């Protein structure tokens, strides 16, 4: 049986007003779903709206349009009590391990913050729970009385993970949790995330720009370009058979860990830069850099349609 859809994102829009009457369409008509217990990877270059999408889903930003359904309820239309309940079910792990921990609080208080806000445990039980969480992420109980600046980047990121786990969430948005870390530490944190997913049946939205890392952790991967998804498929399918020209270009950029193959690897180089997301022209977002662009591409936005089982793509020429 197929697992139920925990998160459904429908036509999600997030616009920002910029000076001079411009509208920055950070996220525009985003559509996808995440099944319970799976990991959806979200990749794309800097500024394509990955983080904004993650933050809008978790309610840090109000959506300009569209809806995010969590277990069937629209997260942007919750009353006060339901909203607080939602913060217990959905959590986030942040990108910068140096900025994401309050420098004036002890690690114990940082991890215990969710416990305090939701009144989960008190007194001795609270401390026990904090020690347990520290142990879960591979830290010692002595660390509870220390301050964030005493830890290394990888340790801090694990504290961030413990903080998110404190409220026993079902769903975690991982906003580039490893991009600020050293490569040797990246694997450590990713493996911890995978281990926790198995133990606690977590659902992840994993935002990143490291393609090989995303492949390693994700069941399905979505590729974003200028605020919208261009392709979404299971990770093996997407890496083996990319269909959208942008995805193809991305995949050709992954180095291969075999010198003979690597030497013959052909990169598809894209012309030009990413156009500005402020007041974008109509039609396909990718047309200016696409090798296959035709007339229709500059007139109509291609529909995001299913072309194979669980393989979605937004392109006129498929």
Partner 1 sequence: MEISKEKFRHVGINEEESQAIVRPSITYWQDAWRRLKKNKTAMIGLVVIIIMTIMAIIGPMMVPYVHSDTDLSNTEQPPSREHWFGTDDLGRDLWARVWVGARVSLFIGLMAALLDTLIGVVIGGISGFYGGKLDMILMRFIDVMIAIPGMIFIILIMVIVGSGVVPIIISFAITGWLGMARLVRGQILQLKEQEFVLAARTLGASSSRLIFRHLIPNTLGVIIVSLTMRIPSAIFTEAFLSFIGLGVKPPMSSWGQLASSGAAVLRVYPYRLFIPAFFISITMLSLNLFGDGLRDALDPRLRK
**According to CB under 8 A, which one of 11, 45, 128, 142 is a site residue for partner 1?**
142
Cβ-based nearer residue to partner 1, 156 or 220? 156
Min dist. Cβ of residue 187 to partner 1 (A): 16
> With contact defined as beta carbons under 8 Å apart, do 44 and 209 qualify?
yes
In angstroms, how far is CA 33 from the centroid of its own chain? 13
**According to CB under 8 A, which one of 160, 177, 222, 245 is a site residue for partner 1?**
160
Q: Where do we find the tokens 């370009």?
A: 225
Output phi, psi for 276, to 5 deg: -70, 135
Beta-bridge partners for 232: 222, 312
**According to CB under 8 A, which one of 4, 77, 103, 262 is a site residue for partner 1?**
103
**Residues 228, 231, 233: CA angle, nearest 5 degrees:** 135
Output phi, psi for 288, to 5 deg: -65, -25
**According to CB under 8 A, which one of 13, 129, 146, 209 is a site residue for partner 1?**
146
Is position 163 an interface residue for partner 1 (rule: CB under 8 A)?
yes
Token pair of 72, please? 């069937």
**According to CB under 8 A, which one of 48, 63, 75, 101 is a site residue for partner 1?**
101
**Residue 69: CB atoms within 10 Å:** 16
Is position 147 an interface residue for partner 1 (rule: CB under 8 A)?
yes
Min dist. Cβ of residue 89 to partner 1 (A): 10
Is position 104 an interface residue for partner 1 (rule: CB under 8 A)?
yes
Q: Kind and range of the H or E element at 173? A: strand 171-175
Is position 302 an interface residue for partner 1 (rule: CB under 8 A)?
no
- Total of residues contacting partner 1 (CB under 8 A): 38
Compose the 69-88 pattern: x for residues touching partner 1 by CB under 8 A, - for all others. Answer: --------------xx--xx
**Residue 154: CB atoms within 10 Å:** 20
d(CA 207, CA 79): 28
Min dist. Cβ of residue 195 to partner 1 (A): 15
Residues 263, 266, 272, 275, CA torsion sign = negative
Please choose, out of 97-105, 123-131, 211-219, 290-298, the segment that lies near partner 1 by the rule CB under 8 A. Answer: 97-105
CB-count burial class (<10 Å; 0-12, 13-18, 19+) for 222: buried
Total residue count of the chain as it appears in this document: 318
**According to CB under 8 A, which one of 23, 24, 105, 274 is a site residue for partner 1?**
105
d(CA 139, CA 145): 12
Min dist. Cβ of residue 113 to partner 1 (A): 6
**Residue 200: CB atoms within 10 Å:** 14
Is position 141 an interface residue for partner 1 (rule: CB under 8 A)?
no
Is position 100 an interface residue for partner 1 (rule: CB under 8 A)?
yes
Is position 128 an interface residue for partner 1 (rule: CB under 8 A)?
no
d(CA 229, CA 50): 10
Residues 104, 109, 111, 117, CA torsion sign = negative
Is position 14 an interface residue for partner 1 (rule: CB under 8 A)?
no
Instruction: Locate all alpha helices (DSSP H) within 67-119, ordered by sequence.
Output: 80-89, 107-117
Is position 24 an interface residue for partner 1 (rule: CB under 8 A)?
no
Is position 58 an interface residue for partner 1 (rule: CB under 8 A)?
yes
Is position 127 an interface residue for partner 1 (rule: CB under 8 A)?
no
Is position 18 an interface residue for partner 1 (rule: CB under 8 A)?
no
Residues engaged in binding partner 1 (CB under 8 A): 55, 58, 60, 83-84, 87-88, 90-92, 94-96, 99-105, 113-114, 117-118, 138-140, 142-143, 145-147, 150-151, 155, 160, 163, 167
């Amino acid at each position: 049986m197929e697992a139920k859809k925990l998160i459904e994102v429908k036509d999600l829009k997030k616009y920002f007003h910029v000076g001079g009457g411009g509208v920055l369409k950070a996220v525009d008509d985003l559509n996808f779903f995440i099944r319970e217990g799976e990991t959806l990877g979200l990749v794309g270059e800097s500024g394509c709206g990955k983080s904004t999408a993650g933050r809008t889903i978790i309610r840090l930003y109000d959506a300009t349009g569209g809806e995010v359904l969590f277990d069937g309820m629209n997260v942007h239309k919750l009353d006060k009590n339901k909203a607080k309940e939602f913060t217990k079910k959905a959590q986030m792990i942040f990108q910068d391990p140096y900025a994401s921990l309050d420098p004036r609080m002890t690690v114990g208080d940082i991890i215990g913050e969710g416990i305090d806000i939701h009144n989960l445990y008190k007194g001795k039980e609270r401390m026990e729970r904090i020690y347990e969480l520290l142990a879960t992420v591979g830290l010692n109980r002595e660390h509870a009385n220390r301050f964030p600046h005493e830890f290394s980047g990888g340790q801090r990121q694990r504290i961030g993970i413990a903080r998110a786990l404190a409220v026993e969430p079902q769903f975690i948005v991982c906003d580039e949790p490893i991009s600020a870390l050293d490569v040797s530490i990246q694997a450590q944190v990713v493996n911890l995330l995978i281990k926790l997913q198995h133990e606690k049946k977590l659902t992840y939205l994993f935002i990143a720009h490291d393609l090989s890392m995303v492949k390693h952790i994700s069941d399905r991967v979505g590729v974003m370009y200028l605020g919208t998804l261009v392709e979404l498929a299971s990770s093996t399918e997407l890496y083996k058979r990319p269909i959208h020209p942008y995805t193809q270009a991305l995949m050709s950029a992954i180095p291969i860990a075999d010198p003979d193959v690597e030497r013959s690897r052909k990169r598809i180089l894209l012309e030009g830069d990413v156009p500005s997301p402020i007041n974008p022209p109509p039609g396909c977002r990718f047309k200016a850099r696409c090798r296959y662009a035709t007339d229709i591409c500059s007139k109509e936005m291609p529909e995001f349609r299913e072309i194979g089982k669980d393989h979605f793509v937004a392109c006129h020429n498929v």
